[in-house]
Amino acid sequence: MTELSVIGSGYVGTTIAACFADLGHEVVNVDVDQAIVDAINDGTAPIHEDGLAELVTDHAGANGTGRLEATTDYAAVLDTDVTFLCLPTPQNDDGSIDLSIIETAADQLGTTLAAKDAWHTVVVKSTVVPGSTEDAITPILEAASNKTAGEELGVGMNPEFLREGTAVHDFLDPDKVVLGADDERALADMHEVFDPLVERSDAPVVETDTRTAEMIKYANNGFLAAKISLINDIGNICKEFGIDAYEVADAIALDDRIGEQFLRSGVGWGGSCFPKDTAAIRAAARQQDYEPAMLDAATRVNDRQPDRLLSLMDDHVDVAGKQVAVLGLAFKPGTDDIRNSRAIPVIEGLQARGAEIVAYDPVAVENMHERFPGIEYVHTPTEALSKAAVALVVTDWEEIAALDNEFDLMSTPIVVDGRRAIDRRDGIVYEGLTW
Ligand code: UGA
């Protein structure tokens, strides 16, 4: 058992704090937001992640094991051995990441650690471009704590591979654990923290330095984003030839070197990670005077998919003055997150065509309403379809995939599917984006 502190209570911070408590560690989660801190201390999860509510109830609050606590006070880190930094790294206008939030936290953490005599290890969990830990975060920690990294202070980097919606599962059953450290003692501390997880999950452990650990995260997300863009590119070619890209994908997936995951072609990738991380590593590469041709192309293909969806619609109908149902607003099923959702360019394209939009999503309406307050939102897909001449499928929620007779309510049943959610059948004009 190790005493841990986790700075930041976003979806990564809260998830890892609760999971580490479940693995037997004593964990304190530090966040500036009093409401989040109060929620955790009441035994309530401040965000929705499958399985998180149960873990927070099990380990925090009056009936918990007491292994999980939250506070706004950085001094709590002094009673711990290892601190994880889980802070956001937002995107600048040029695509590069903004380190200011994590730098401020490092400064505050370092200032707090100045009062500690014993060794302490700080682990960067946030996604940061190669060199950020070594060149930016470590010097701030050293200056603020008046300690030298490798002598009185350990610094490590441990990238996360958690998907939104399955973060608890992804943490507790990882494909790999990457431990990046520039000194042996920090590495040993990280091993101690992860040993219970590694024993339980049998996950392979990759030991490396902090720069390589940082790069592994970008390589992982860049590869997956590019894999989807490649199947989208191939899918677009299939569509031109009247071939079903999903039949092609099923066949190539049988090649072990390709594998079956992330081969669902369609309207493309969104969310807070793939778009931001591909932009950040491309910007970082350019700063090194390297042109990241493949990752540039992956982004270009992704940017084009919503236009292809709209142009398939244009082939059937001029939507000016007509009502168009947009089915699904979240960037993927299982979340209310609309960041970089493909629904955004789809709605913009419909607006540019003078269409009247009727939008539906089981959970993301409130968020999309903030982004597009002027469009109509309805409570059921049936309501959207009964008003519409065309339906565009943007997110493959099960509820949307289950629609069938409801399409008969449309004035002209034209369905353009960006996610292969709907079954082609007689009585509707059906266009699949890549099939
Ligand atoms: C992604 C990675 O999968 C995680 O490993 C990583 O930790 C996370 O980013 C992060 O960096 O924090 P996430 O953004 O939650 O996770 O979502 P994914 O499930 O990977 O989906 C991303 C997008 O790709 C979604 O818009 C999804 O619809 C799309 N997608 C996914 C496809 O279009 N086709 C596919 O075959 C798979």
Which residues of the chain form CATH 3.40.50.720? 3-208, 305-432
d(CA 25, CA 67): 7
DSSP state of 125: -
User: In the structure, what pLDDT confidence band is assigned to residue 2 with cuts at 50, 70 and 90?
Assistant: confident
Question: From its phi and psi, is residue 361 left (phi > 0), alpha (psi between -120 and 50) or beta?
Answer: beta
Q: Is-contact 144 171, C-beta < 8 A? A: no
Which strand (E) or helix (H) includes residue 83? strand 82-85
* Ligand 1 center to 301 CA (angstroms): 16
The b-or-e profile of 383-399 (16+ CB within 10 A means b, else e) is bbbbbbbbbbbbbbbeb
Q: Is the CB of 269 under 6 A from ligand 1?
A: yes
Q: Is-contact 125 160, C-beta < 8 A? A: yes
Annotated active-site residue 273? The verdict is: yes
Q: Is-contact 403 385, C-beta < 8 A? A: yes
What mean pLDDT is predicted for residues 192-215?
A: 97
| pLDDT tens sequence across 100-123 | 999 999 999 999 999 999 999 999
Which residues of the chain form CATH 1.10.1040.10? 218-302
Average pLDDT, the chain: 97
Q: Nearest CA to 277 among 110, 109, 58, 97?
A: 97
Q: Is the CB of 264 under 6 A from ligand 1?
A: yes
**Is domain 218-302 given the CATH code 3.20.20.70 in the classification?**
no
Q: Is the CB of 397 under 6 A from ligand 1?
A: no
- Per-residue confidence (pLDDT) for residue 11, from 0 to 100: 87
| pLDDT tens sequence across 290-333 | 999 999 999 999 999 999 999 999 999 999 999 999 999 999 99
- Per-residue confidence (pLDDT) for residue 66, from 0 to 100: 97
- Per-residue confidence (pLDDT) for residue 64, from 0 to 100: 96
Q: Nearest CA to 367 among 349, 340, 387, 348?
A: 340
Looking at the domain 305-432, which fold is it? Rossmann fold (3.40.50)
Structure tokens at 245: 């890209």
Q: Nearest CA to 29 among 147, 160, 125, 148?
A: 125
What is the atom index within ligand 1 of the atom nearest the CA of 277?
11
Structure tokens at 166: 């399955």
Q: Is the pLDDT of residue 1 over 90?
A: no
φ and ψ of 336, to 5 deg:
-100, 10
d(CA 399, CA 142): 52
CATH for the 3-208 domain, from 3.90.650.10, 3.40.50.720, 3.40.1440.10, 3.30.70.2660: 3.40.50.720
What is the atom index within ligand 1 of the atom nearest the CA of 12?
12
Protein residue with its CA nearest to atom 3 in ligand 1: 163
Q: Is the CB of 332 under 6 A from ligand 1?
A: yes
Q: Is the pLDDT of residue 415 over 80?
A: yes
d(CA 128, CA 17): 20
| pLDDT tens sequence across 323-368 | 999 999 999 999 999 999 999 999 999 999 999 999 999 999 999 9
| pLDDT tens sequence across 35-54 | 999 999 999 999 888 999 99
What mean pLDDT is predicted for residues 25-37?
A: 97
- Per-residue confidence (pLDDT) for residue 374, from 0 to 100: 96
CA separation, residue 418 to residues 74, 165, 364 (Å) = 46, 21, 18
- Per-residue confidence (pLDDT) for residue 48, from 0 to 100: 84
What is the atom index within ligand 1 of the atom nearest the CA of 161?
7
d(CA 429, CA 431): 7
* Ligand 1 center to 317 CA (angstroms): 32
- Per-residue confidence (pLDDT) for residue 113, from 0 to 100: 98
φ and ψ of 200, to 5 deg:
-75, -40
| pLDDT tens sequence across 219-276 | 999 999 999 999 999 999 999 999 999 999 999 999 999 999 999 999 999 999 999 9
Q: Is-contact 415 309, C-beta < 8 A? A: no
Protein residue with its CA nearest to atom 19 in ligand 1: 163
